[in-house]
Every structure is written in structure tokens, then in C-alpha cells.
Structure 1
Amino acid sequence: MALVRTAMLLAALTALFGLAGLALGGETGMILALILAAGMNVYAWWGSDRAALRAHDARLVTRASAPDFVGDIERMAQRAGMPVPAIYLIDSDQPNAFATGRNPANAAVAATTGLLRSLSREEVAGVMAHELAHIRNRDTLIMTVAATLAGAITMLANFAFFFRGGRDNGMGIVGVLATMILAPLAAGLVQMAISRTREYEADRGGAEICGQPLWLASALARISGLAARIDMNSAERNPGTAHMFIVNPLHAHAHDRLFSTHPATENRIRELQKLAGERGSGGGRSAAAPATRASPVPSTRRTPRGPWA
């Protein structure tokens, strides 16, 4: 169902692009904007992993430097039937994580040192399983396509006054101005909706990979509470990367608002708890704590349980 919804949203972006192009610049403007936007986004796609990792000063880790963390990810990747991504750590007290890369063979996962300090080993496993699911689902590719179309629509709006297509079509200056404002806004909303859809799908995929939905539910509750109080300076300097993280690192309110790139944490936890009930798996926890309540920080040296261990 999530894949169908994503396809429908991408189709909506495509249709919006065509309408905006014809309205503002005619065929010439539409083709020119698409070429420029596609070129920029293809370049960004090929280098997006390195750019994102550099933006957050991520450092590569191995079994020698982080044996439990790396070992758990390797076992979960094997369970998911996918290549082991490059594994990075970000020096930040805020617990968070993201995945990047153009495909499963060229991917990376990154977690903050705050994630490893603040969460139990089971919860860390749930978070990293979520990121592995993003890679397996090729969400980076999906979001790149969405970014290309949204970027093309924005370019068409910016080029509105350089082409006479909109006025020739009878829109007039008011119609051109309205399209300049509303088309990029609509494109951004659709792009955010795609991002939220992929987060729910990665939650389900992560629960499947680690075998315990409540590990991820508990992690989301803990991360959301801590991230709301702890700054992540690298994310504040690079807000364009906020949508990549498992929770918004910029202290956004945890509600399914129109301009949010992440679903409400409470909604995600509810879906994971429902999934756990369907599977009959407790994961050693009866329920995840509310996102607004901080739970005691457990030891990170417990041995994870589950079919991948």
C-alpha cells in the first residue's frame, strides 16, 4: 500500500510539473527546466552520500573500533539479504541516525555517539534496522526522483518572467504570479508526503529486519524525547539534511503537520505496537514510553536477543 501511495504521489508531481511548465514557459521552458534540474539532481545523487557524511563530520568505524555496533549491523544486513553498508559515527550528543547512498551496493549508515550512549543495544539495533530498511527499499532513489521533479517545478516558477508561455496561454500576470507561488508550494508538500510515507515503510521493514517491532518503538520514544532537548549543531548548519534522520534533528513539533518531513512519533510508535501485537512479539518490553517522557538510560552492554543475533 505504501508503494502504491508513493507511486501516486510521484505521478502527481509529474503531472504538476507538466502543468506548471506549459502554463509558465510553454514547451521550451518545461524542457529547459527539466534538463537543468535533472542535471543538478543526478550530480547530487552520485555524490549525496559523501556530501551528507562530510556535512556531519562522520567518521568511518570498523569491527576493531566498534565491535558490538558494527557486528550487529553486519548480522542484520545478512538477515535482510543485502550488502553491509559503510558504517559511520557522528560526534553529537543528540541520539539520531540516517542512511544514504544511491543503491544497496553503494550505501552508508551513520549514527550519533549520543545514540549509542543513550539507548540500549536492542534499541540501537532497532534504529539501525530502520536505516537498513531505507537502503533495501531504495528510498534514496525515490527521494532523488522526487527532488528532481520538485526542483524542476521550482525552476519553472523562477523562470516564469523569462518566457511568455503563461501570458500567451491567457493566464495574465496574476495567473503567472499565482503559479510561481503555488506550484513550488504544492511540489514541496507532495515531496514531504513521499518522505513521510517512506518513514512508515522503513519502520515496518526495520521491525522485520531486527525481528522485534518494540525495540524500534522504544527507541523512537527515547530519541524523540532527547532530541527535543539536545541540539545537533551539524544539522542546524545543514537543515537540508534533516529529512534523512530517523527523527527530525531540528526540534520540530512531533505532529503530522502539513510541512513536516517526518510522521508524528506517536503515530509511528502506535503502528509498531500494532505490528508487535500482530506478530505476538514483546521484545522484552510491554510498550514504548511516551515521546514526552524520558526513560532511565539502560546499560548499552546487554546482549541483543532475536533471530539475527
Structure 2
Amino acid sequence: MAGNVKVFMLMAAMTALVMALGWMLGGAGGAMIALLIAGGMNFFSYWNSDKMMLRQQGAVELSPEQGGDLYAMTARLAERAQLPMPRLYLLPTEQPNAFATGRNPENSAVAVTQGLVRTLNADQIAGVIAHELAHIKHRDTLTMTITATMAGAIAMMGNMMLFAGNREGRGGMIGSILAMILAPLAAAMVQMAISRAREYEADATGAAISGQPRALAEALQRIAEVAGRTVNLPAEKNPAAAAMFIINPLHALRADRLFTTHPPTEERIARLMAMQGGTPPASGVGPASGVGT
């Protein structure tokens, strides 16, 4: 409950930032127009974000026959989580990773990469899928879509501030330049805070769904190790979607790591192992799964 209140407050802060930039651009009318534009962008994202995300990542939908054991595992976990069976997708990249998308549990999808299926064992894959189902159960996919859309709107409005710097009573040129620089940064920080809070919640709920906190901890460690040295080209081309993945998909050498949307993997593992009542897994743990598609 406390986590939900925090997310609500952060989203309210982002909405206030949108309106403040609108006011600087056009006074009270500008603030209202900015709010309406942000609302329109969110409405579009509400209906189309899942299709856009899956298309960007080159996802291929798996039927029950094509998905085999992976599809059956997802169905069992969805039933345990009291959720409808989500659409299941495979991503053609060797980086082990996964994400969930969709506006609600009835219109949701879980996508896993080829690398994840080949790198993790069955228990670890179950932990990852349970984590993604937790995001669907908490409706995090909608929350993150809205925050990403609003962050994009704020960045766009921040760039417009440079051309509104001579408007009297609305900050002047210096205020416009500061807003152009600081507003997108503030929006990114709010987006990061929301994403990090959601990841901790999804880890806890996912561990409860799968019943194996240690397996999820092992999966997170293994994914983080391999993702850091494996390039995910679709994710690199669309870095705004990085927050949707279970582990940051952007390459370890990129500056994006300075502003990662994910909490430290070590802290996530520690929390999961506290649930398990054991010691953290050793580096490199986990044989290949043998779970076919």
C-alpha cells in the first residue's frame, strides 16, 4: 500500500511538472493545453503501447504448440497468480531478458528472449515469468507506459522552452534555459523512482507466485551477468523501453547505466534471499534450462 501511495505521489509530481512547463510556455491556457496533450498521448499509449513495444522488439507470438513447455509453465503460473493466460512472445536476441506489457490483465503479454530460455534452468525461468506476471497483476505495465509517455512530453516541452525565453513574467531566457535542462532530468528521475519501486514489488510478488525466491534471485544474478556483455540491438534502438525489462537491457559500457531505471541487482537479490532465509547465490549459477519452445 505504501508503495502505491509513493507511485501516486510521483505521478502527481510529473503531472505538475507538465502543467508548470505549459504555464511557462503559455500561461494558464498553456498549462491546460499541456495537460490535455499529455492526456491525449496517454490515451493513445493506453490502447497501443503493447503493440508498439512488441513490434519494436521484433517479438514473435508463440502458440501452445510452438511454446511447448514454456507455454505450459506460463499457463500454470498465471493460474496460480489468478490471472488470465497472457499472450506469450519470443524475442530474437541472445541477451537473457524478459518484459511484460499490456493495458490490463485481460490484454497482457509476456515476452522472453531466446537467450533467457537457453541460459536459465526451468526453476529460474519460472521465477522470471512469475515476476512479469506480478507486473501484470499490479498493473505496472500501464503505470510505466504512462510515466514514459509523460517523460517524453516533458522532454519535448523542455526543448520548446528555449523559444519561449523572452516571454515576460514566465521565467525569461535564463528560466527557460534552466527549465529546458532541468525539467527532462527531473522527469527521468521520477520515472526511475517509479520503476525501481515497482521492481521491488514485482520481485516479492513473483517469488510468492513461483514459491521459489532463490530461483528468482539466481535468475536475476545470471541475467545481469550475461546482459552486461551481450548487446540487445532492438533495446539499444529504443532505450526508452529499458524500464520494461526485468534487468536493464542496455549495454554495460553505455552511459545509460548512470541513470538506470532498475534498482541495484545486489539489493534485489538480498531481499529475495531474506524471503528464502538463505545466502546469496554464487556467481554464474544455473545450467541451461532445457525448456523448449
Structure-1-length-normalised TM-score: 0.86
- Aligned equivalents of 2:113, 2:169: Cα separation in 1: 52
Deviations, residues 53-74 of structure 1 (Å, cap 9, x unaligned): 1122211112212221111110
Would you say the 8 A contact 2:18–2:34 is kept in 1?
no
Q: What is aligned with 1:288?
A: 281
Report how many residues are paired.
291
Cα offset, 1:221, TM superposition: 0.6
SS at match of 2:64: coil
Please give the residue correspondences for 1:1-309 in structure 2 after superposition, counting only pairs within 5 Å.
1-160=2-161, 167-169=167-169, 171-252=171-252, 259-277=259-277, 287-289=280-282, 293-295=283-285, 297-300=287-290
In structure 1, runs of 5+ residues without a counterpart are: 303-309
Contact 1:89 1:110 in 2 (8 A): yes
Contact map agreement 1:92 1:113 (CA 8 A) in 2: yes
Output the CA distance in 2 between the equivalents of 1:19 and 1:52.
Answer: 29
TM-score by length of 2: 0.90
Q: Kindly, what percent of the aligned residue pairs are identical?
A: 50
Of Structure 1 and Structure 2, the greater helix share is in: 2
Q: Which amino acid aligns with 2:221?
A: A
Residue 269 of structure 2 contacts residue 280 of structure 2 at CA under 8 Å; is this kept in 1?
no
Check whether the contact 1:76–1:210 (CA below 8 A) recurs between aligned residues.
yes
- Partner SS, residue 102 of structure 2: strand
Counterparts in 2 of 1:163 and 1:229: CA distance versus 1, 3 Å: closer
Output the CA distance in 1 between the equivalents of 2:275 and 2:286.
25
Q: Is the 8 A contact 1:48 1:101 kept in 2?
A: yes
C-alpha contact 2:88 2:111 (8 A) present in aligned 1: yes
What are the Cα deviations for residues 19-73 of structure 1, in whole angstroms up to 9, with x where unaligned? 3333343112222222233323322331111111112221111221222111111
Q: Which runs of 4+ in 1 moved over 6 A?
A: none
> Does the 8 Å contact 2:148/2:240 carry over to 1?
no
Amino acid at match of 2:243: H
SS at match of 1:159: helix
**Hey, what's the Cα distance between the residues in 1 that align with 2:139 and 2:132?**
11
User: Which range moves more in the overlay, 183-192 or 100-109?
Assistant: 183-192
Q: Once the 2 structures are TM-superposed, how far is the Cα of residue 163 of structure 1 from its aligned partner?
A: 5.2
The answer (yes or no) to whether the contact 1:29–1:156 under 8 Å persists in 2 is no
CA distance 1:299–1:37, shift in 2 (3 Å): closer
Which residue identity is paired with 1:68? D
Q: List alignment gaps of at least 5 residues for structure 2.
A: none
8 A contact 1:95–1:113 mirrored in 2: yes
